[in-house]
Structure formats: C-alpha cells, structure tokens
Amino acid sequence: MRFKSRGPSSIRFPKNSGLPPSKKAGRQPAFSFLQRFAILSFVSIGVVSMAMAFVLSQFLTSRFLYREAEVMTEFVNGVITVKLHDSATRSDRNWMEGDLGKFFEHLAHMPDVIRTNVFGGDRRIAWSSDPTMIGRPFERNDGLESAFRGRPTSSMEIQGENGKDEHVSLPLEHGASFVESYLPIWRDDADHTTVGAVEVYRAPKQLFQAIDAGVRRIWGSALGGGAVIFLTLFWMVRRASRTIKRQEKELVASEMLAAVGEMASAVAHSLRNPLASVRSSAELALAAGAEGQARAAMKDILADTDRLETWIKQYLADAQPGAQNDAVADVADAIRQTADNLDRAFRRNGIRATIEIDPDLPGVRPSTLLLAQVLNGLVANAIEAMPEGGELRLAATTELHGKLVRISIEDSGVGLPETGAEAAFAPFSTTKSAGFGLGLPLAHRIVARYGGRLTLANRPP
C-alpha cells in the first residue's frame, strides 16, 4: 500500500523558564458578571428614573400653570363681559377706562398679585398697577404674542435670572420665585378675537406648594420604582450568577471525573492481563500441592482476582458511551458482600461491625456490583476514620411507604473536617497523606447518575 506523505510530524514546546505558565503570563482578572451588572444596571436605571422624573415634573408644572392661566383668562373675560354690555366699546381705544379700570385695580390688589399690566393692540402698556409703566413699549416676547393669538400662557420665573426689563422693578428679593401670566382679552365670548392682553405677576404660595408636593411624589415614585426594579433584577441575576458558578464547578468536576474515568478505563483494561497471570500462578501453586497457609493464601488470591476481574468487566461495560445498565441491585446482598470483603480489615483494626437490614427491601438501581463498589469505598473511609478501633453500623430501611431505600453507614470515628461534605465531594480534595481524593466524588457521581442522593454529616440528618 502506498500513502501520500504529508511531511514530518512535530511537537513544539516553549523553552523552560523555570516558572509555571500562569506566573509567566500573569493571571487575568476574573470577570465579575454580578459586579458589572450591578454597576451598569444601577447607572442605567438611575439615569432613566431621573430623566422620567424630570420630564414628568416639567409636565406637571407646565400643566398646573397653564390650567391656572386658563381659569384666570375665563375670569377676566367674564368680568369684562359683565362690565361692558356693548361689545363694540371693547374695540375703542379707551375701553379700559371707567369700571374696567376699577376692575383692574381690584385685580392688582388680589392676594399674591405683585403687578398687573394691560396691553393694548399696539403692544404698549395701556394700564398698570405701577403708573410708571403706562405707555411704555417692551420687546415682544413669546408669552405676549401667544396671548394676542388667543392662547393664555404662564411660566414660573426666578427674580434676577431672566433679563427682562419689566422684571427689574418687581418688589421681590433676588432669587424669589413668581409666576408670569399673559391672558388674552377677547372682543366677545363668541368671537374670541383678541383686542388686548393682561400680564399678571403673582407669587401664589398654595400653587407653589401643590407643585412642590407633586414634584416630590414624582421623584419619590420614580426613584422608588427604580430601586425596586434594580433590587429585583439584582436578586434575579445574583441567583443566576450563583447557579452559573455552581454549574461551572459541577462542570469542572465532571470533566475532571471524566478524565479520571478515561484513565481508569485504560488502567482497568491494562490490568486484565496481569490479573490473569496472577490467577494462573495461584492455580499452578494449588496444582503443585501447596498446603497449609500457602494453600489458603492461594485460594484468597483466586477469590480476589475473580472479584477484581468481575469489577473490571462491569466497569468497562458501564464506561462505554451510551451504555444502559438495567440491572437491579439487591441491597441486602450488596451490604453483605461489602461486609465480607472488608471483614479482615474489621478484625485487623479492632472494629465491631453490625448490620441491620429491613426485610423485603425493594430493588434499586444501579446494579449490585456498582452498589457494592460504592459501599466498599464509603466503608473503607469509615475504617480509616477509626485507626484505634470503634463501631460501625450498616443499615438499610425503607422510606415513603417503600418508595425510597435508605442505606446508612455510621461510624464512631473522628468525623468530618470543618469544610464538610462540599469539599469531600470535590475531585482530588483529600485530607489523607496517601489519598487521591477520588473515592467520594466517584461514589457521589455513581449514586447521582441513578437518581439517588449521597450525603455526609457528623450527625445523622
């Protein structure tokens, strides 16, 4: 057979600098999703809440002022209609004399009114509560022009901030707030043709209080609503972040255990030939007529190699991708197998083991072999926790009317460290000098794979 060459294969490694890669390259700062979300959401929600509060406050203020201007316009034109029965007189240049002059004087002396100016059609002040203002023309402004177009306007001003000439002589302190209103004067109520305008300066305390109360409620509602939204989102994202971190840890642990499983599969496959050689040697020793302790030792070797061979076959079968194990475990048999396998360890360490099994236990998954492996690992840990001897109790009971089977392993050993079960189930986490930290993680994974739950505690939960 002939193959087309693709060139030589090669593997390249960087020069050894004496430092691990993490220290040479430097650690990248961890991405804090929760922290960044908290900052960005707080800023964005705060900006949106304040913007909405500002817009609504401006809208509320303008609506309050415009509505008051409308009411005052209706009031002024209603009085003028009563005072002048002849609508033609309202187009006369002297229509502001007589009773109307007295009305405007009364208007100027109403509560909160600072000054009243009446403009004629030529935009000059025809009457004013300040006689020095009569006859003076002023620059046209949007409020006055809007009034001459038939639409009343009202705005809140601050003394000293606006450069209008007519504001200079107002009897107000610098920085005081007041309302400037331009009210149209109509020829008649039906026509609404504007023949003049009334400018009223007021300092209405009740109106200011109502506006302030409304503005405070708007800002309070906007900021309170923003805070509720932020806290709700923060709680949800924090919970999601914790879930992600937990799943990330589980994924890392799963990957580590998967790597260990692949390596264990290779090791288990490689052990079959040495085990076969050991078994053959033991058989030859028996056939050669070994007697006494040697014969008993050879029989123990045969039993242990057969058990190991069975475990390896079962492990390799379960490790295959997509493998389905439909076997049902005999809980009582698995417990007795565990006790028999570790009987010599019990006697060697001075441990008194007791077994309590309810009759008629239902079958459970996984298989009896896998369950026995799990129990062997847990009991072996219990034995190591009692170096000076002690008591071990193996029990199996039913719960929830036979729907669940509970297997308990209790020992009188030193107990769990402060880190507890969470660290015990982490791969490669061990407090033993000669341990690898894989027994409990693998047992936990096997039990969880078949819908069970493995828990550790210093006291029975």
Distance of CA 279 to the CA centre of its chain: 60
Contact 412, 391 (CB under 8 A): yes
The pLDDT assigned to 23 comes to 47
The pLDDT assigned to 183 comes to 92
Mean pLDDT by groups of 10 residues along the chain of 461 residues: 41 51 47 82 93 93 91 87 57 55 84 88 85 79 88 86 69 83 80 83 89 93 93 91 83 68 65 77 77 78 77 62 62 84 84 85 76 82 83 85 83 71 63 62 75 75 48
Computed over its alpha carbons, how large is the radius of gyration of the chain? 47
**Domain extent listing, the chain:** 34-217, 324-449
**Exposed/middle/buried for residue 132 (C-beta within 10 Å: 0-12, 13-18, 19+):** exposed
Quick one: DSSP state of residue 16? Answer: P
Residues with Cβ within 8 Å of 373's Cβ and at least 6 positions away in sequence, in order, are: 311, 443, 446
The pLDDT assigned to 13 comes to 47
Q: Which among 65, 63, 92 has a CA at the least distance from the CA of 80?
A: 92
The pLDDT assigned to 224 comes to 94
Q: Between the CA of residue 179 and those of 167, 184, 217, 365, what are the distances in Å? A: 11, 16, 22, 84
Give the 3-state secondary structure of residue 350.
coil
The pLDDT assigned to 22 comes to 46
The pLDDT assigned to 102 comes to 82
Class (C level, CATH) for 324-449? alpha beta
The pLDDT assigned to 367 comes to 73
Q: Hey, CA dihedral for 76, 82, 87, 88, is it positive or negative?
A: negative
Secondary structure (DSSP) of 45-106: HHHHHHHHHHHHHHHHHHHHHHHHHHHHHHHHHHHHHHH-S-GGGGGSTTTTSTHHHHHHHH
The Cα 318–Cα 264 span in angstroms is: 12
Q: What is the token pair recorded at 165? A: 């000439």
The pLDDT assigned to 299 comes to 78
Q: Which among 246, 263, 272, 314 has a CA at the least distance from the CA of 428?
A: 263
Give the 3-state secondary structure of residue 332.
helix
The pLDDT assigned to 29 comes to 47
CATH number of 34-217: 3.30.450.20
The pLDDT assigned to 215 comes to 93
